[in-house]
């Protein structure tokens, strides 16, 4: 039996991937731009998903006992998003070839 924690992790990674695809659609206004997501290879996408996963795990967003505490989630979710943004900004600065394109991170 699959534990709910792993389902939440999988759903989080799927939503992060969907958010990246949506960012491409908003930024470039074409469906053809979605092909650019896989342009840099799977390593670039895995790096993005790993950073999202790490920041969520670091802020304990996958612990089931914290779901009932709305105040906990209200503070931790934006903090995890800011941490992800900072880590991705640093990675994209150090390795510019791993960027998803100008303006997609924002």
pLDDT 10s digits, 19-77: 888 877 887 777 666 666 666 667 788 888 899 999 988 888 877 776 777 888 888 88
Verdict on whether the full-model pTM lies above 0.85 = no
CA distance 44 to 106: 17
Question: Binning pLDDT at 50, 70 and 90, where does residue 83 land?
Answer: very high
Tokens for 2? 């699959």
CB 97 within 8 A of CB 43: no
Domain boundaries, the chain: 4-98
pLDDT tens digits, one per residue of 62-74: 777 767 778 888 8
Q: Which H or E element spans position 25?
A: helix 4-28
Residue 37 DSSP class: G
């Amino acid at each position: 039996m699959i534990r709910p924690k792993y389902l939440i992790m999988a759903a989080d990674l799927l939503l992060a991937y969907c958010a990246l695809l949506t960012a491409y659609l908003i930024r470039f206004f074409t469906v053809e731009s979605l092909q650019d997501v896989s342009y840099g290879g799977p390593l670039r996408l895995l790096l993005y998903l790993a950073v999202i996963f790490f920041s969520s795990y670091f802020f304990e967003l996958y612990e089931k006992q914290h779901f009932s505490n709305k105040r906990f989630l209200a503070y931790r979710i934006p903090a995890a998003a800011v941490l992800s943004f900072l880590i991705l900004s640093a990675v994209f600065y150090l390795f510019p070839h791993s960027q998803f394109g100008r303006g997609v991170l924002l």
